[in-house]
Amino acid sequence: AQSVTQLGSHVSVSEGALVLLRCNYSSSVPPYLFWYVQYPNQGLQLLLKYTSAATLVKGINGFEAEFKKSETSFHLTKPSAHMSDAAEYFCAVTSNTGNQFYFGTGTSLTVIP
Amino acid sequence: GAGVSQSPSNKVTEKGKDVELRCDPISGHTALYWYRQSLGQGLEFLIYFQGNSAPDKSGLPSDRFSAERTGGSVSTLTIQRTQQEDSAVYLCASNTITGTGELFFGEGSRLTVL
């Protein structure tokens, strides 16, 4: 089965600084990879997804992620953090059949003014 | 509907009572998933429906938990004889296997067992 590891359960950055949230998946390449964001008391919202069309994926709110097969990684970045980016971020992958979704344990992002 | 709808949004119950949580997926979505999110924790998979059948119910924590889906649409998650450790946010998500693969989430049902 697939598995996802998110390094760092809590990340703090200053407003305007680079955001880097790490995600590694297990060795077999999944069909899809995702980043979701969860704001307080809300459900999960899709930030971006990788579907093998391009290794660099651009999402909403200025976020992007790069799929690196050699590193089995799909790290999420944003050049300049905004206060509104403070939220919980989840990385997820699908099974080879695409029917199962495996989520990381999440990274809580704090943005310091 | 336009999005995944879950009800109730908040439920407070006493230990030992039964609760039902409802999920109305996006119209036309054949797949439906239930997850549990405990305070400060990630998403714990509970069960997955394809149409009205559940190919994978391996995540249900105990036999107190059950779920059904009727008409290929609405799903109900039932927790019998609730325990305090059942307190969590229960998230429902749906997608279509002919679509783009992403899950669409509801806003969750927050269950508090006193």
Give the 3-state secondary structure of residue B48. Answer: strand
Q: What is the pLDDT of residue A51?
A: 83
CB contact under 8 Å between B91 and A34, yes or no, is no
Which of B94 and A53 is assigned the larger pLDDT?
B94
CB contact under 8 Å between B100 and A51, yes or no, is yes
pLDDT of residue A62 exceeding 90, the answer is: yes
Average pLDDT over residues B37-61: 88
Q: What is the pLDDT of residue A54?
A: 83
pLDDT of residue B75 exceeding 90, the answer is: yes
pLDDT, one tens digit per residue, over B77-108 is: 999 999 999 999 999 999 987 666 889 999 99
For the ranges A51-65, A91-105, B22-36, B63-77, which has the lowest average pLDDT?
A91-105
CB contact under 8 Å between A101 and B97, yes or no, is no
Q: Per the structure block, which two tokens stand in for B95?
A: 């997608």
pLDDT, one tens digit per residue, over A15-37 is: 999 999 999 998 677 778 999 99
Q: What is the pLDDT of residue B56?
A: 87
Which of A14 and A97 is assigned the larger pLDDT?
A14
Q: How many cross-chain Cβ pairs, A to B, lie less than 8 Å apart?
A: 58
pLDDT of residue A97 exceeding 80, the answer is: no
CA A59 – CA B70 distance, rounded (Å): 35
Q: What is the pLDDT of residue A46?
A: 94
CA B77 – CA B44 distance, rounded (Å): 14
At which residue do the structure tokens 């790290």 appear?
A75
pLDDT, one tens digit per residue, over B27-47 is: 989 999 999 998 777 889 999
For the ranges A52-56, A104-108, B33-37, B60-64, which has the lowest average pLDDT?
A52-56
Backbone dihedral region for residue A82 (phi beyond 0: left; psi -120 to 50: alpha; all else: beta): beta
Q: Which of B102, B109, B110 to mutate to test the interface with A (most CBs of A within 10 A)?
A: B102
Q: What Å distances lie between residue B107 and A83, B19, B43, CA to CA?
A: 22, 18, 14
B54 to chain A: which residues are within 8 Å by CB?
Answer: none
CB contact under 8 Å between B93 and A42, yes or no, is no
Burial of B77 (0-12, 13-18, 19+ CB in 10 A): buried
Q: Do residues A57 and A49 lie in contact, with contact meaning Cβ atoms separated by under 8 Å?
A: yes
CA A4 – CA B12 distance, rounded (Å): 33
Q: What is the pLDDT of residue B35?
A: 95
CB nearest B42 (choices: A43, A94, A105): A105
Chain A, nearest residue to B110 by Cα: A41
A46 to chain B: which residues are within 8 Å by CB?
Answer: 102-104
CA B113 – CA B85 distance, rounded (Å): 8
Q: What is the pLDDT of residue B98?
A: 63
CB contact under 8 Å between B55 and A99, yes or no, is yes
CB nearest A103 (choices: B42, B50, B104): B42
Q: Which of A3, A10, A103 to mutate to test the interface with B (most CBs of B within 10 A)?
A: A103
pLDDT, one tens digit per residue, over A37-49 is: 999 888 899 999 9
Chain B, nearest residue to A49 by Cα: B102
Q: What is the pLDDT of residue B79?
A: 98
Q: What is the pLDDT of residue A14?
A: 97
